[in-house]
Chain A
Amino acid sequence: MTSAAATPDAELAPPPGVGEAVALAPHARSAALLLAIDPTGLGGAVVRGDGPALDPWLRALRRALPMGAPLLRCAPSADESRLLGGLDVAATLTAGRPVHEAGVMARASGGVLQIPGAERLTTRAAALLASVLDGGVPQAAGSDVRERPAPLVVAADEGTDEDVTVPDALADRLAFRLVLTAPPARTLFDEPGHVDRDAATAAADVTAARARLHLVDVAEELVLALVETADQLAVIGGARAVLLALRAARASAAWSGRTEVSDADLMLAVALVLAPRATRLPVPDDSAVTDDAPPDQPRAEEPPPESEAPEANGAQPPPPDAAAPPSRPPEGPTDASTPPPPDDDAERPIADRLVDAARAALPPRLLAELARRASAAASRSGAGGRGGMTMTIGTRGRPLPSRAGDPRRARLDVLATVRAAAPWQALRARMDGGATVPAPDESGGHRRLRVRRGDFRVRRHERTRVASVIFAVDASGSAALARLAEAKGAIEVMLAESYARRDRVSLVAFRGAGAEVLLPPTRAPARARRLLAGLAGGGGTPLAAGLDTARALAGRERRGGADPLIVVLTDGRANIGRDGTPGRPQARTDALVAARAIRADNLPAVIVDVALRPEPFARAIADAAGARYLWLPGGDGGSIGAAVRQARPRAADA
């Protein structure tokens, strides 16, 4: 453990064949190695980064795995039969006997399954992947017999939208979250001879580490330190995160040939597993440590992110002061390794140093991200993949005429299928008779219906669509002076109604320099109410930003299969433009542009004017957005409720 204090930079020594050839982001090659050492224990990784960044890392990972380990890809829209295998309908029909196809999980077992665009995984697919990660690959879909271990899952998050992320059910089970940056142009990894020679040694070392894995001990105080660190960072995922960190630490010790987890192993584990799950960063209590804090200050040429507006983020930990060390080179992965804390820190409690390790592992500008994560953490899993449950081919609702389709994805309409196949029977019998299948059927006597793939008809149902009401609340100083409290009361009335109707409700607040989604679409009104109660007014009125955010959310809800309705509560005194700068004329122009975009998207909206006297500009906004205009007299929540009821999308009443 003493040696660990001397090398607090928690990076593993570059392994032959994995490290040298590929210049990877800090910790990324360590992550690849640890995954190769304990694949079933660590599950895999959520990675962000495009192809040029991801591919070298995947190659490094494969090189660390035993020779011949498969690497398969699977689309996020994969269904059960693609993932777990099932009956191959076309082959079955041709062969006249059941032909099963193996699922991609079974074929990737022992290797890597890459899922590009994993943020688009459906809830169902994520649940299936999670069950495989928990218990291994079932022999067939629905089977309890699990013989093969799960493959490493590399979920590539390619989302540009911050609120759409890899479903929690899956992300919780994947140990690492990596942000990969493209390697410098001049790297050696494509030089074939070099790679082949070293790959064998790397794989051999990994195999040796695997064999040592179960011998590695963890001291009691290190477990305690890990739990305390997780507590201080308020990691999402609870005990699972701590256990994954423990396994990562153990794999790291095994790689270094030790039988005891050292401080350095633990720091690496914290940096790789706990830091990316942190929702809170403890403020350093020690001035010496402040130097280690990541430079939170964005570089000068970057526009300040909206969420860093002072009023909008009262709850966020105070950013380290601007005198933090100069920012690192932006794209220098090898240079960006963590600066070692002063040597005299070695005597400090391990838990403190672990928190430092986490802090150092966080990329710059993450504090804003942390605040967002904290607010989204509680309800994200609901929002993440629910889009997958609203399919055009539902299993419920008003039946529609059946049409051609894949019987494994939807319910087979037997009668329609037979009807489609019937006219061709004589012809097919002749054709089959002339070909390989013998004329008298092997099923003994009775005639077999000759069904081809194209005959399949599946049932379709028109789903009752869910209504999704998006409240955009003006929390600016002027609105607060006017009647924010009454607006809140009105929203509560509507929340209660939404609850009764099983609508989804979401909350956007705008004030200061920008707008934020306080509550992603949910059916739990208790949470909305709590957030609303804690919503303090203050700052300018960025009406344009509020409208834009509400429109983006509405668009997402519509794509997810819901019928959105935007309800804007504002006093109409826009004075902050789209770019966050004050100025009434520009702010008004921007707000009108934003309102017209709502009309262009054909989104139903209601503008509720909460000013003391009707505000002409609020009406102008309503006209531009093609929305209903409503002036809220005397804090009467009931009348807003009635207006929203009228404007509510029709389908949800069906």
Chain B
Amino acid sequence: MLWLWIVLAAVALLGIVLALGYNRLVRLRNEAATGWANIDVQLQRRADLIPNLVEAVRGYAAHERAVFDEVTKARAALQHASAPGAAAEANEGLTAALGRLFAVAEAYPELQASENFLQLQEDLTDTEDKISAARRYYNSTVMHLNTAIQSVPWLLIAKPFGFRAKEFFSAQGDTAPPQVSFSRAT
């Protein structure tokens, strides 16, 4: 009868390990989802600032139509991108377009002195800082999730339960963020 008990104990142990592993993966997936929500909020905020900015510049430089179109298109692209990689790509595109808008704005001293424009510029910079903060957090959660999913033993339960690796929020050509490990501190 001894072997029966051994088998039962092994099965019970396996069950516990499976449950713990499953919970761990769920937790990691939720963290990554929260991280993505944080980025999404800031991207939305950035997109919301654009129409006002374009209006402010148009007031002083109505004929610079090409730049306005470019910015508006880049904004639309950002709002339509849903996957992290594509959103990062679109976000970079918006940054480039905004760079050209601000270059154009340079030529208009009155615009540069306008309170409204300065405020918008400041808000935009702040949003960009927040996007990069949210991106650091999101990418680190994705790193943890992906590492867990791709390593033994969680690898074995990740597939059957439908856990998938997530995309980093980074445009093509970017590399994953370097990770610092603190062997001594923990």
Say if A and B assemble together: no
A residues with a Cβ closer than 8 A to B are none
